[in-house]
Amino acid sequence: MTSSGSLSPALEMRGIVKRFGATEALAGVDFSLAEGEVHALLGENGAGKSTLMKILSGALRADGGEMRLAGKPYHPSDPRVGRRGGVAMIYQELTLASHLTVEENISLGREPHRRGFLRRTDVRRKIRETLDFLHHPEIDLDAKVASLGMGARQIVEIARAIMDRSRILVMDEPTSSLTREDMDRLFQVIRKLREDGVGIVYISHFLEEVKEVADRFTVLRDGRNSGGGRIAETSFADIIQLMVGGKMEALFPRTIRTPGDVLLSVEELKGGEMSRPVSFDLRRGEILGLAGLVGSGRTETLRTIFGLDPAEKGSVRFAGTSALSGKPWTRIEAGVGLLSEDRQGEGLALTCSLTDNMTLSRLRPYRRFGFLDDSRRRAAAAGWIDRLNIKAGGTEQAVEGLSGGNQQKVALARLLHQEAEVLLLDEPTRGIDVGSKTQIYGWMNRLAAEGKGLLFVSSYFPELLGVCDRIAVFHRGMLLAVRPAADWTEEHLLAAATTGKAS
């Protein structure tokens, strides 16, 4: 695999296998990294990149395969062993303690001391040297991390890894929250580390920056190697083809439907969390897909429409009625429902029962003289359990005991029970089994055929192409293009989402 003969392999992974229950997340993946090399690891969501890196760091254990670090067998049992072996991860969500200073963060857990008293002079000198080496002498050792920008925090994290004498750095989407300026500074640091012989695994969805910073690349698809090579000799189109592959058409039920009147009209809407205003219309009987990478502004748009994030300007109109500001309860009364991407944190009250979760957004029909009629509420919940084929111990079971797919069906049942006319679905099929997925596609089709309007956010392009009537693509907060689904291909969607250019 090592095409560049002069470099010795710092890391060698061969035939790595990882299973989660019945699904095979990795089916014999090979990966190697030389000293002083930046190696891009590419693939769509769910291709197995993070699983592979978790095995490398020791956060997960492989079910098969072999790993060698600098020629010696390496099988880390937990991340601390990985760190001691010289493998450091720089995650998307940084792992710094924001209440502590730069110095305290970098020396955390290995504070030099004599009989329990800190000896700070040596460690401060070493940190200074490291930051100078990274060309970031301006970072103040006594500044609280909370006061630093995202770019500087990343440098602190890298400094900590280097102080650890790490020889392999894994950077997972390091630029997703950086400005262009911070990004250039990060790339300088990466080049500096490469000169110093550090091997870097670089995971990113943004192909342009991969081209800018990486030497080699490896593409994973469905838990297998689908290709790789030198990045300078490969075109974007070839890489995208490797990522997408010749995928089978999944079975998406689709009845013929003709979109009707405009149900939801979004004009120049900008919420507090959105970086740019967006405009689009959603018609009755239509499924409009919102494609894009994680963090590209799709979720923020849905939340602003629903009133969970405050709107700053622009307008949202439901079937003609105008409403800019609004809280979720006014939206629900207007017939809008939201299915949250964060099922456990926001979507469901995990310790509450199926009945409570399904009926919480519409308790009014069960209210009689101020009292709740629990038997009718349970009967309604039982009906939805039946119709959606939810596997549960009964209406009064707490939803935390259900599988992911069944939990998601409870969240969907809530929107159905609420009789929402406009359904905002944020990653409704993420992390659930294939059977539940197919059922959710079926329900989406059925709801559209009944004349409801659906906004469908997904990072999985085949399901967008299979289910939607029209698809809009977001790139770094900007809505690029809205086109009929038939005019898009997976390659075009991926290209638009990763490069920001809709061809």
Partner 1 sequence: MKRSARLSSVINRLAPFLGLLLVILIFSLMPEVQSRFLRAANLKAVATQSVIVALGALGMTVVIISGGIDLSAASNIAFTSVIVAAAVNAGIPPGPALLAGVILGGIIGLVNGLLITKLRLVPFIITLGMMGIARGLAKWLAHNQKIDAPLTWLNELMAKSPHPPWLLLAPGVWLMIILAVLMAVLLRKTVFGRHVFAIGSNEATARLCGVRTDRAKIMIYALAGLFCGLAGVMEFSRLTVGDPTVAVGLELDIIAAVVIGGGSLSGGEGSILGSMIGVFIMSLLRNGCTMMGWPNYIQEIIIGVIIIAAVALDRIRHRREA
Footprint of partner 1 on this chain (CB under 8 A)?
308, 327-329, 331-333, 338, 340, 342, 345-352, 356-357, 360-361, 363-364, 367, 370-372, 374, 393-394, 400-401, 414
Please, what is the minimum distance in Å from the beta carbon of residue 71 to partner 1?
45
Q: Nearer to partner 1 by C-beta: 127 or 358?
A: 358
Please, what is the minimum distance in Å from the beta carbon of residue 98 to partner 1?
18
Residue 202 and residue 173: Cα distance in Å, rounded? 8
Helices 150-163 + 180-195 axis angle, to 10? 20
CB-CB contact of 448 with 257 (8 Å):
yes
Q: Nearer to partner 1 by C-beta: 73 or 345?
A: 345
Please, what is the minimum distance in Å from the beta carbon of residue 33 to partner 1?
40
Which residues is 346 bridged to in the sheet?
none
Structure tokens at 443: 């329900």
Structure tokens at 71: 């020629």
Residue 183: helix, strand or coil by DSSP? helix
Please, what is the minimum distance in Å from the beta carbon of residue 35 to partner 1?
46
Please, what is the minimum distance in Å from the beta carbon of residue 359 to partner 1?
8
Q: Nearer to partner 1 by C-beta: 143 or 360?
A: 360
Please, what is the minimum distance in Å from the beta carbon of residue 194 to partner 1?
43
Please, what is the minimum distance in Å from the beta carbon of residue 414 to partner 1?
7
Q: Nearer to partner 1 by C-beta: 117 or 369?
A: 369
Structure tokens at 162: 């280097």
Q: Nearer to partner 1 by C-beta: 360 or 482?
A: 360
Please, what is the minimum distance in Å from the beta carbon of residue 84 to partner 1?
33
Residue 147 and residue 153: Cα distance in Å, rounded? 9
Please, what is the minimum distance in Å from the beta carbon of residue 370 to partner 1?
6
- Reported for 495-500, long-range contacts at CB under 8 A and 24+ positions apart, including other chains, are 495/236, 495/240, 496/291, 497/205, 497/291, 497/292, 497/293, 497/296, 497/473, 498/205, 498/206, 498/207, 498/208, 498/293, 499/206, 499/207, 499/208, 499/236, 499/475, 500/475, 500/476
Instruction: Please give the DSSP secondary-structure letter assigned to residue 145.
Output: G
Q: Give me the phi and psi of 337, to 5 degrees please.
A: -130, 145
Please, what is the minimum distance in Å from the beta carbon of residue 333 to partner 1?
8
Q: Which residues contact 105 (CB under 8 A, 6 or more apart)?
A: 96, 97, 145, 156, 160
What DSSP element (H or E) covers 150?
A: helix 150-163
Residue 89 and residue 191: Cα distance in Å, rounded? 17
- Reported for 188-192, long-range contacts at CB under 8 A and 24+ positions apart, including other chains, are 188/135, 189/134, 189/135, 189/136, 189/155, 189/158, 190/38, 192/133, 192/134, 192/135
Q: 237, 234, 313, 318: which is closest to 272 by C-alpha?
A: 313
Residue 101 and residue 118: Cα distance in Å, rounded? 15
